[in-house]
Chains A and B, each alone.
Chain A
Amino acid sequence: MSATEEPGKPRNLSERIQLLQDRIYDRLFHNYIWQSIFRSGYPNTPRNQMLVVATNVFLHLHPTRLQRTHVRVTYTYCLGGLTFFMFIVLTITGVLLMFYYVPSVDRAYQDIAALETNVKFGLLMRNMHRWTAHAMVILVFLHMMRVFYTGAYKPPREFNWVVGVVLLVLTLVLSFTGYLLPWDQLALWAVTVGHGIGGSSPYLGDEVQTVIFGGFEIGQPALIRFYTLHVIALPLLAAIMMAVHFWRIRRDGGMARPL
């Protein structure tokens, strides 16, 4: 592949430019390093287009071919994919927010206020994190409705639907744990409402309040619990469940279609 044909002498300017383009392309993409990363050639033939999907760890979540109906936007409205995309955006913006945030009742509020005023793009990152989090909750509901109304939960996809329900719960809990972190009045009292709801669990009320909220009042124990759950435990769990979710789509025969 790396062997280039020896072209004849260029006769005019356009042929010269053509030759130059070919050489640059060759240098960039037909070298040892590039080809050690990307095994398939440029995806301009069906074979390479399938290879590029099959040999790429991110793209291989997809099959190599799909039915035309399933590619139509009005079948899925991209809702599941967009939910996942929101998760990625939230991870990126979340990591950036973590650089400036200390989960302590003494510092948390000042950190957020400082993030908004003293950090370049800090306010933008926080806004993005907030709005995409709301969007993820909405999208996950819409995705669930799409799957329901297209009957895509039916056999053999029963289990994947259950995994989806677990992911819905994880999304809500992720969003709720993040709600407390700014440590402002909105956060505190919203979580206090949740604390009351958790405390009303039959037989286990006090235990729920102690284990999840760290006591009978929202304070430092609750903040550190919510922080840890929000930045590591729940995203990790969600990522694992998503891996199962995506894997099962392929294993259960791709997207649902009429029999």
Chain B
Amino acid sequence: MAVQAQRQATAAPARPRPKRVREEEVLVWPDLVFIEFISAVLFTITFVILSVFINAPLLNRANLDVTPNPSKAPWYFLNLQELLLHMDKAWAGVLIPTIALGFFAAIPFIDRSRHMQGLWFGTKYSVRITVITIIYATVVSFGLVTLDAGDTRLTPLVDFKTEMLTRWIPSCPEAAEDVGWPCLRDEAGAKHLGIVSTKDFSKRLEFEVLGVNWPEDLDNIAWPFNDSIGDWDLGFIGLSNIHGWGGEHLNIPAAMAEQVIPLTLTIVVFPGLIIYTMFRLGWVRTRRDVMIVMYTGVIFGYLALTLIGSFFRGEGQDLIAPWNIKVDEG
């Protein structure tokens, strides 16, 4: 081999063949095994010390009659619990996590180029778009949660609540059943508030377009075939009575407030906005870049919601500062 290579080299001295650079290889024993061993030892020591000084929590014996306030899921599910406050529970608890995991699994089948693998942040602008997306996801998550917290006073110093932004919408006259212009129906005798949370779009906001009144004309629309599709009995495979559409009705205002608005914002509008902006700026150029924005957005949105759920939710799941949280053990 060496002789051959030498001959070729002497035959064509003007065009030396580019030598394939092979990176230096090291032996797994001892180079890698040593690192693994040391990291295992360090972690063992760390966790022994941690476990000596910090005890795992053990509260009172479980009692179904005594509900702590707030009751919280384990921290890694607090993000889902947080979502539950803002949208339909099937979406928050089941469908969004399923979609997120499906998206994770689909990443390599969307971004199929082989380039830039095995390098931290391979593409030209990937560090920049990652950092921007982290900031964006965090700000948007905290921002949306704050907006949806409506009548919570946000700072101890300034009396600002996000419902004040929409207080200009007039209060519905108590006597009138149907109103033309948009108005917000207040509880009898209560002070006029703006839109407190997205749920108010279906509960308190009222208006009329072309003779159709929102929400009362739209909240009980029969599904097509509503009578013919009942509950499905799949008892033969062990699932009895899967609940179909039998007898259920479409509630457009509620679907708008608890599904369409929150989902459009979180899945379409905000991700689309950042991807489109960075695409126009020329920073997002490949599918890899798009995947970076989406993955970073999901992970850091998840992190932000976890932090909110862990540190900013007090009694009754109210949004409050971490130092004001008191747990009522019941």
Contacts and interface: CB of A to CB of B under 8 A. Distances in A.
Judge: A and B partners, yes or no: yes
Interface of A: 43, 46, 49-50, 52-53, 59, 62-69, 71, 73, 75, 78, 81-82, 85-86, 89, 105, 109, 112-113, 116, 123-124, 126-132, 134-135, 137, 141, 144-145, 148-155, 157-158, 161-162, 165, 168-169, 172, 175-176, 179, 182-190, 192-194, 196-198, 200-207, 217-219, 255-259
B239 interface: yes
Contacts of B105: 161-162, 165
B93 A198 contact: yes
B154 to A, nearest CB: 26
A148 B23 CA distance: 23
Interface in B54-76: 54-64, 66-68, 71-76
Contacts of B77: 172, 176, 193-194, 197
Nearest to A160: B108
22 contacts: A53-B33, A67-B24, A69-B118, A78-B36, A109-B61, A124-B51, A127-B56, A128-B51, A150-B117, A154-B111, A154-B116, A161-B105, A161-B107, A196-B89, A197-B84, A197-B93, A200-B93, A203-B242, A204-B239, A218-B62, A258-B116, A258-B118
Contacts of B242: 203-204, 207
B28 A185 contact: no
A200 B39 CA distance: 42
Given A64-B27, A175-B76, A186-B59, A149 B121 contact: yes
A190 B72 contact: yes
A185 B61 contact: yes
Contacts of B73: 190, 193-194, 197
Contacts of B26: 65-68, 71
Interface in B89-118: 89-90, 92-95, 101, 104-105, 107-109, 111-118
Given A69-B23, A154-B113, A185-B68, A258 B39 contact: no
Contacts of A50: 27, 29
Contacts of B68: 185, 189
B39 to A, nearest CB: 5
A7 to B, nearest CB: 30
Contacts of A207: 239-240, 242
B39 A81 contact: yes
Contact of B94 (A150, A202, A257): A202
A130 to B, nearest CB: 4
B239 to A, nearest CB: 5
B101 A165 contact: yes
Contacts of A105: 62
A68 B25 contact: yes
A44 B239 CA distance: 62
A81 B29 contact: no
B47 interface: yes
Interface in B117-149: 117-122, 126, 130
A135 B47 contact: yes
B279 interface: no
B94 A131 contact: no
B232 to A, nearest CB: 8
Nearest to B123: A151
How many residues of B sit at the interface, in one of the four size bands?
Answer: 35 or more
A196 B92 CA distance: 11
B47 A132 contact: yes
Given A149-B120, A193-B73, A194-B77, A43 B29 contact: yes
A140 B295 CA distance: 15
B180 interface: no
Contact of A59 (B33, B66, B71, B75): B33
A188 B115 contact: no
Contacts of B94: 197-198, 200-202
B73 to A, nearest CB: 4
Given A64-B27, A186-B58, 4 more contacts: A65-B28, A131-B47, A151-B117, A153-B107
A151 B116 contact: yes
B188 interface: no
A148 B126 CA distance: 12
B57 to A, nearest CB: 6
B61 A183 contact: yes
B129 to A, nearest CB: 11
A49 B62 contact: no
B285 to A, nearest CB: 15
Contacts of A161: 105, 107-108
Contacts of B48: 124, 128
A132 B44 CA distance: 9
B81 interface: yes
Given A124-B52, A217-B64, A153 B27 contact: no
Nearest to A46: B27
A113 to B, nearest CB: 7
B299 interface: yes
Contacts of A201: 90, 93-94
B288 interface: yes
B189 interface: no
Contacts of A128: 47-48, 51
